[in-house]
């Protein structure tokens, strides 16, 4: 494979970390270095000769540094085709130096936005010269190698060191691909900043962190995760997370976000639905009572706590085969116990901002919606029956409603004393969901007398409240909104059942 030896390089970067060994290597290889502003000063302070870009353009940096490299003598040096006689002739005619290497990064736009900076500070971090240089150098990869991120410094240094300044077209093309990844991601971030209110019905998503999974939902499907998993979790132990693990972890995190400020709460999830949930005075008791909700389904599940997991809780967990354990922290003794199973995945959940929208493929396109951030509270409740719920029932109703919101529709959740008794999940009718929940609760010996019922959507008929009443349910929470709400209200009044309505439906498909 033919190679090309570099004789010149343009370096203009915001981040100087890791740049020194590259500059020194280029200097040792006899490469002429051109630079601007702070980068020029950095190189000069290393005792290495550098040519200011202003000497090439005969034009100073203007407008407070907004315009430095936007000049034909810079872009001509990058974009010329060295196998094109006309291009080569024009380089000589206009005294334009050939540029073989371009090392440029971009102003930290995303970090500036995330820092809460003012709009003017954010606008000033929209890079113009840098993005133009990257695109030009990447476009002309046949003759120019473009290094567009400090993350690629190490690989670039290895290439020029092993090749003695020579690079192959395959290497230059690979770096061009990296460069266009950088530029497209940067433009996407800028557009999304300007389109925060979605005035433009346009979807642009860019995730630069990708991970190849063992497989997708099933072994015959390929699977990938795109996102910064390490920012959200510190993985302390265990095997690599699978596609299904990640879905369950996502469901667990979303559910536990409802209970972040509550007393110690523990949840056990399987196939994205909670099979156990309890809030107690201690996390140990919360786990024990969450497991009691369905000790059969808990096998192979994902476990999550809203407080530190201690040794007694870890010892209980250790008796169960589970895929993943998530908590904000662990005691040293608890970690020692949990690490007793080599494949058990142990995660610490870090504080990060989660996406505010949900995206999923649909037909030949994509569906996008806001996340369901509405959490039902006592202040939202409309008391529609003569009998109002007691303070204990109100706590259970809100507890059940939070869980109902995160359970696959159609769903009914039965709870008592801030413990999940059972839920009916993903049923085609609400009656089927209720019957499933009642059957399951009774199979695990739960006493449903004075338990509460939550529904993700309204009751079009009084059949559900009638079935619930006959099983001992004393209080009901539901959105309301059916033209036949009164039928369910009348039944509750006739049978001394308390019912409240939230006015908010929580479908989850």
Structure tokens at 259: 């209970």
126-129, Cβ contacts within 8 angstroms, sequence gap of 24 or more: 126/190, 127/186, 128/66, 128/70, 129/12, 129/67, 129/68, 129/69, 129/70
* Angle, in degrees to the nearest 10, between helices 463-470 and 430-443: 10
Q: Is the pLDDT of residue 2 over 80?
A: no
80-117 tens-digit pLDDT: 988 888 888 988 888 889 999 999 999 899 999 989 99
Q: Which of 66-75, 219-228, 264-273, 388-397 has the lowest mean pLDDT?
A: 66-75
Q: SS3 for 345?
A: strand
Structure tokens at 123: 């606008």
141-182 tens-digit pLDDT: 999 999 999 999 999 999 999 999 999 999 999 999 999 999
- For residue 65, the 8-state DSSP code is G
CB 316 within 8 A of CB 445: no
Q: Is the pLDDT of residue 68 over 80?
A: no
Cα(251)–Cα(257) distance, rounded to whole angstroms?
10
* Angle, in degrees to the nearest 10, between helices 485-494 and 463-470: 30
CB 403 within 8 A of CB 420: yes
State pTM to two decimals: 0.85
Mean of the per-residue pLDDT values of the chain? 94
Q: Which residue has the higher pLDDT, 202 or 399?
A: 399
Q: Which of 72, 38, 40, 78 is nearest to 56 (CA)?
A: 72
- Count the neighbouring beta carbons within 10 Å of the beta carbon of residue 496: 11
Can you point out the beta strands (E) in 392-502? 412-415, 420-424, 452-455, 475-478, 498-501
Q: Are strands 3-5 and 166-168 parallel, antiparallel or unpaired?
A: antiparallel
When pLDDT is cut at 50, 70 and 90, the band that residue 379 belongs to is very high
When pLDDT is cut at 50, 70 and 90, the band that residue 27 belongs to is very high
% of residues, the chain, pLDDT over 70: 99
Over residues 205-224, mean pLDDT: 93
When pLDDT is cut at 50, 70 and 90, the band that residue 56 belongs to is confident
Q: Which residue numbers are catalytic?
A: 139, 271
When pLDDT is cut at 50, 70 and 90, the band that residue 43 belongs to is very high
Q: Is the pLDDT of residue 62 over 80?
A: no
Over residues 225-229, mean pLDDT: 94
Q: Is the pLDDT of residue 1 over 60?
A: no
Q: Is the pLDDT of residue 422 over 70?
A: yes
Residue 461 has a pLDDT of 94
């Amino acid at each position: 494979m033919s190679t090309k030896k570099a004789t010149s390089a343009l370096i203009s970067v915001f981040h100087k970390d890791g740049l020194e060994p590259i500059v020194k290597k280029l200097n040792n290889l006899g490469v002429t270095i051109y630079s601007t502003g702070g980068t020029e000063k950095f190189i000069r302070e290393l005792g290495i000769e550098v040519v200011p870009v202003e000497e090439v353009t005969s034009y100073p940096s203007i407008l407070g540094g907004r315009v430095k490299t936007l000049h034909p003598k810079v872009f001509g040096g990058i974009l010329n085709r060295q196998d094109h006689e006309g291009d080569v002739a024009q380089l000589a005619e206009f005294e334009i130096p050939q540029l073989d290497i371009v090392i440029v990064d971009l102003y930290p736009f995303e970090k500036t936005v995330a820092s809460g900076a003012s709009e003017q500070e954010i606008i000033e971090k929209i890079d113009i010269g840098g993005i133009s240089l990257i695109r030009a150098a990447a476009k002309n990869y046949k003759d120019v190698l473009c290094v567009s991120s400090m993350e690629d410094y190490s690989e670039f240094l290895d290439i020029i060191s092993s090749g003695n300044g020579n690079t192959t077209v395959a290497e230059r093309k690979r770096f061009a691909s990296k460069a266009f990844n950088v530029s497209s991601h940067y433009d996407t971030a800028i557009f999304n900043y300007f389109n925060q209110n979605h005035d433009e019905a346009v979807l642009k998503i860019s995730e630069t962190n990708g991970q190849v999974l063992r497989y997708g939902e099933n072994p015959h499907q390929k699977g990938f995760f795109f996102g910064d998993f390490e920012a959200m979790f510190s993985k302390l132990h265990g095997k690599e997370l699978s596609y299904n693990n990640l879905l369950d972890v996502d469901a667990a995190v979303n559910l536990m976000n409802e209970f972040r400020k509550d007393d110690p709460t523990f949840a056990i999830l399987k196939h994205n639905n909670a099979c156990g949930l309890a809030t107690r005075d201690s996390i140990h008791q919360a786990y024990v009572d969450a497991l009691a909700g369905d000790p059969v389904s808990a096998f192979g599940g994902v476990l999550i706590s809203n407080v530190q997991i201690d040794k007694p809780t870890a010892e209980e967990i250790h008796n169960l085969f589970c895929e993943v354990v998530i908590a904000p922290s662990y005691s040293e003794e608890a970690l020692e116990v949990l690490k007793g199973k080599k494949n058990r995945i142990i995660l610490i959940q870090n504080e990060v901002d989660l996406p505010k929208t949900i995206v999923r493929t649909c037909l030949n396109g994509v569906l996008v919606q806001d996340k369901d951030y509405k959490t039902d509270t006592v202040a939202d409740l409309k008391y529609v029956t003569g009998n109002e719920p007691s303070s204990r029932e109100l706590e259970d109703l809100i507890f059940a409603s939070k869980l109902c919101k995160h359970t696959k529709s159609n769903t009914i959740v039965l709870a008592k004393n801030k413990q999940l008794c059972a839920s009916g999940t993903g049923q085609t009718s609400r009656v089927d969901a209720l019957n499933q929940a009642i059957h399951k609760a009774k199979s695990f010996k739960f006493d449903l007398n004075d338990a509460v019922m939550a529904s993700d959507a309204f009751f079009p008929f009084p059949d559900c409240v009638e079935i619930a009443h006959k099983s001992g349910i004393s209080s009901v929470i539901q959105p309301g909104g059916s033209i036949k709400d009164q039928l369910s209200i009348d039944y509750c009044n006739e049978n001394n059942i308390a019912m409240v309505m939230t006015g908010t439906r929580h479908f989850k498909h």
